[in-house]
Amino acid sequence: MLVSATEVRIGQILKLHGIYCAVVLDKFINEDGGVILRVQTLRNVFRGFKSELIDTSVAPNGLRAASMDDINTEIAEHYATVDRGLALMLEAVQA
């Protein structure tokens, strides 16, 4: 379900562009009514990156409601990808 940037609240779980899970850490509204969100994505956590700012005016249809199930699925997919990658790498070394 699409979420309007004006309705987003701190602590809410979102999917950005229907792909990446993110948790809203801060919400800033400028004098023109534009909304900037500071979010932490699982993708950034996995890469050791800090939170990022999202200008919601760039892709106003890019915010979707998400849940803990979505976060848990993304975490499981990440670890499965890491496990497959490590297995392929070690297989190549042992060949």
Q: Report pLDDT for 83.
A: 96
User: Total domain count for the chain?
Assistant: 1
- Locate 44 and state its tokens: 């950034």
Mean pLDDT calculated for residue range 9-30: 95
SS (H, E, C) 3-30: CCHHHCCCCCEEEECCCEEEEEEEEEEC
CATH number, domain with residue 58: 2.30.30
pLDDT in tens, 29-79: 999 999 999 999 999 999 999 999 999 999 888 999 999 999 999 999 999
Cβ atoms < 10 Å from Cβ of 86: 10
Quote the domain boundaries for residue 24.
5-94
